[in-house]
Amino acid sequence: MNARITTLPRNLKDYAAPDAAIPHVRQAYEGAVNGKYPAYQINGIWHYDLVNLPVIAAAYGLPPKDPSLRRSGCEDAATVSPGAGEARHALAEVSA
């Protein structure tokens, strides 16, 4: 399931640890445009897949609330949507 980039800060807030520095909408938009995490456009509006939330959080260095979620939905970074860019590298660092 996909979601608009404007919902990313709220979804990251629900996913990440309470003391994590959640990016603002503008930072989320810039991350999508610059390939920081997997995102794509639908009719000119940036979206991301909710299953990639762990990868996106890792790209911003955000730890999950629940450590068991750290690898949930992203066992193999190669299966992540195209455009992951730096997010794949961040995932590898988190996994190490």
Tens of pLDDT, residue by residue over 2-21, are 999 999 999 999 999 999 99
**Which amino acid appears at position 32 of this protein?**
A
Among 39, 20, 17, 46, which residue's Cα sits nearest to residue 86? 39
Query: Cα–Cα distance between 28 and 67 in angstroms, integer?
Result: 23
Query: Do the Cβ atoms of 26 and 70 come closer than 8 Å?
Result: no
User: What's the pLDDT at 66?
Assistant: 81
Instruction: Give this prediction's pTM.
Output: 0.68
User: What's the pLDDT at 71?
Assistant: 54
User: What's the pLDDT at 63?
Assistant: 92
Q: Which domain holds residue 13?
A: 2-95
Q: Which residues of the chain have pLDDT under 50?
A: 72-96
Query: Cα–Cα distance between 13 and 80 in angstroms, integer?
Result: 21
What would the two tokens of residue 54 be?
A: 């762990």
Beta strands in 1-96 (DSSP E): 2-4, 40-42, 45-49
Query: Cα–Cα distance between 29 and 89 in angstroms, integer?
Result: 20
The enclosing H or E element of 88 equals: helix 86-95
How many domains are there within the chain? 1
